[in-house]
């Protein structure tokens, strides 16, 4: 869900949807011809509701956890690159990501329960 959310959330930054609007193979096709449009990446499909749900749960995390989740799933990169951007040792990224994931799951359960 977080991988799909990471692509979905990009739409808010650039006004797009987080993936190309036209498939690379058809970039020279006439504009407005619907069969040549790009489709969402695998795992996203019509899951916009799932991404919205995930987005609500991420918003409930503390600021440090939100920063980590964004770095890993939106900005992306190797563990070393993420650790460098956050000013951490690379070993700390997976440790903190596991803890943040557990807190995120708790928030998702709360949202699903209507809390």
How many domains are there within the chain? Answer: 1
Q: List, for residues 39-87, the tens digit of each pLDDT value.
A: 555 555 545 677 888 899 999 999 999 999 999 999 999 999 999 999 9
Structure tokens at 102: 């557990």
Give me the CATH number covering residue 66.
Answer: 1.10.10.10
Domain that holds residue 59: 2-112
Q: List, for residues 11-27, the tens digit of each pLDDT value.
A: 655 555 455 555 555 55
Other residues' Cβ atoms within 10 Å of the Cβ of residue 93? 21
Q: What is the pTM of this model?
A: 0.69
C-alpha to C-alpha distance for 104 and 97, rounded to whole angstroms:
10
């Amino acid at each position: 869900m977080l991988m799909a959310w990471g692509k979905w959330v990009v739409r808010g930054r650039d006004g797009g949807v987080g993936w190309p609007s036209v498939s690379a193979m058809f970039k020279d096709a006439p504009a407005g011809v619907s069969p040549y449009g790009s489709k969402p990446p695998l795992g996203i499909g019509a899951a916009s509701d799932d991404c919205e749900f995930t987005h609500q749960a991420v918003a409930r995390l503390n600021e440090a956890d939100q920063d980590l989740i964004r770095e890993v799933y939106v900005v992306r990169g190797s563990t070393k690159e993420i650790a460098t951007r956050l000013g951490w040792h690379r070993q700390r990224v997976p440790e903190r990501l596991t803890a943040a994931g557990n807190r995120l799951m708790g928030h998702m359960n709360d949202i699903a329960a209507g809390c």
